[in-house]
Structure 1
Amino acid sequence: MESNKDEALRCLAIAQKHRDAGNFPSARKFCQKSINLFSTPEAAKLLASIDAAASSSSASASGSGFSSSANATTSSTERNPSASGAKQRNGSANTNGGTAGGMGGEKREYTAEQVSVVKRVKACKITEYYDILAVKRDCEEAEIKKAYRKLALALHPDKNGAPGADEAFKMVSKAFQVLSDPQKRAAFDQNGSDPESRFSGMSAGRSPGFASSQGEMTPEDLFNMFFGGGMNGGGFGGGPFGGGPFGGPVFTASFGPGGFTSTRVRTGGARAGGAAAQGDDTGPARSLLTQLLPLIILFAFSFLTALPNLFSSPSTPDPRFSFSPTSRYNVERHTGGLGIKYHVHGPEFHNHPQIAAELAAREAGRGARGQSALSKFEGTVEHMYTQDLYNQCQRGLERRERRKDAEIGIFGIGTDWEKVKKIEQETVDSCEELKRLGVLRS
């Protein structure tokens, strides 16, 4: 159809581009579409050329591919003459045991002795920690560490490819985590079950003088505790076994809601790396300073507040007094404001520095500067006296009101109103005294 001719020519141009680029499947697709839309001699000729080019390219690729593959294999074998032997060893059965498939499909070797170790460990229940490590219940901590070192080396996945070695290695690591911690071991000896179920969140004990940082602990971390980086870490660095009790980082374990929690401990001895080790301590030091900052600010504020009092002489307390005379308070006095009578101890009153100086100034005909110490003291006397009278007045009025209510009774039936009137006219002595002093209005 003439209406499809333009679209057919467009598809033909696209097919030509794909053929020139060597993309023969796409070129054939667009060329065939051009023919279906509007058949032209050019399209038929291009389709034939595409098929011819595709056939030629396929034949040359298969021949050169085989040759290059063979050459690559030969070259690889020449460069690594042990590769062929390694593949043979990995693909064939070991004379002492066999092979097992590892991660990624690689074969891992193992011996009959390694298989027996795996079977012995896996025959134990997961909480039979002493049987897993093959130690007695009353053994020392050193025996537990020795048993773990031996089993960890025998069961580590990089050394033991026997089926179930990974699970046995985890069981050994769990048993060591429990029995190497005094708190967890005591809990296990008492209950016979995993301490995590009853001691969730309890952190392992730490020795004084150690700095620690929390992190999740895996069997590999526990293995690295003893062997300084694992089987692929380039040997046993540090002491006889690298880290742990033999030098380097120390780990302890605790049981929390998220599983095992490890505590990495740095001793106070010499550190490898010098400047790097000093950099590790910057974070904890800054964190400790941040925590103590509020206390430091509070202490500084308290010190600055009390600073003026450090350089001023303490004031002498006011003399003691009594409203009634006693053998000690035998000197009678009256306040200058309300004329309240009170009694003081003579030597104490007259030896008071401020009051004695003020009394001496009055006798000499001089007035006191500023607020008088004596008037301040007597103001305290008057306040206490009037406050006590006011409390007595309130209690007296309440008692009078209760008597009045009791006399009236319910709805005032049978009430002696004359008696009620007399109760209302009764006076309260403390209230009358306050009125006399002008403190309470009539």
Structure 2
Amino acid sequence: MTSEYLVTLGQEAKKAERKLRTLPTGQKNRALNQMAAALRQVQADILKANQIDLEAGATKGLSAAFLERLTLTPERIEAMAQGLESIAALPDPLQKIDQAWQTDDGLWISRKRVPLGVIGIIYESRPNVTVDATALCLKAGNAVILRGGRDALQSNMAIMKVLRQALSQANLDPNFVQMIDKPDHSLAKEFMQLNDYVDCLIPRGGAGLIQNVIKHATVPVIETGVGNCHLYIHQAADIAKARQILENGKLQRVSVCNALESLLIDAAIVEQLPDLVAGLIQAGVEIRGNQKVCQFVPQATSASESDYAREFNDYILSVKVVDDYQAAIDHIDRYSTGHSEAIVTEDYQVAENFLADVDAAAVYVNASTRFTDGQMFGFGGEIGISTQKLHARGPMGLDALTSYKYQVRGQGQVRS
């Protein structure tokens, strides 16, 4: 039996969503800008709440990577505020008509963008998701119920308080965004089965969280996030370019899903490997590789089969020397999670083949996988990065949070 607590949240979300469907664009944009201003005004309160979460996490022995994802700074709060403003500046997806045509019967048919409805988000340690999800759902006309991890509860509640107050000041129903503030697992499972009130569920986090949601949810799920991302350095690569892309992909932020987890390099240029990974080793990255890797990189340890399949989210990189292009493609096909894959090469035909051969949400030539991000793609933010193919794929911005309906206008026509 579903708890009364969740039923109430669902009822309030449905009620708010009905109003949001037809909310004028200007009113939504004003609310987004007010939320941005409010975040800046109460930054100290949010940072104080975040410090409570960080201290509790350190006491519990959470990993450095986990604590890094959990950490808020003035710069990160400013980035969240700017994200709200950038989403306000984007076109309203609900004003789009995808197609319009007239049939032989004289009917005018148009396909118009509409909200998904009530979206449920289940996520772990990143408090910025609270802001990103709220902003994107509001602009796309969806209500949202958030369920963050217990380790970020104080941070999330502080942010939620600010956002809901700003919505009230903008004369909008604050219940369009709600948060489950009871972190017990039984409630989370009930939330995954709240079909009467939730139209779509989006998990954001590690493999364990995502698989748990897929296993227990009866609400339709958009699978996001796990990123075993590869960089393949082809024998025709510019080595200086490759080193820069490798270091950025692994070191710029190791705890995120678009960070590099695996490096492949052609045997024809294996002598370049020690120089390529020197900066990573100096930064504290542990290299786990096959026999050829260990032969050329004395600091490397032997990689297990599971190492090539893992998303580390840590200062660890699996490395493999491959015989040729086809061996690299075979390896990626076997171990990729369908997130982001990259090649470095100056051979135009090899680059085009890689773009065609690799099955992932984002495929790169001579660029870092760290660009797989809604903001970097020009979406203003993202609700998650979908690694599936149905409905949405890759960074999910405003358009991915809408569906469509057919509007049919006639003059009394009946079907013969």
TM-score, reference length from structure 2: 0.18
Asked which structure has the greater CA Rg, the reply is: 1
Higher RCO (CA 8 Å, separation ≥ 6 residues): 2
Structure with greater helix percent: 1
TM-score, reference length from structure 1: 0.17
Structure with greater strand percent: 2
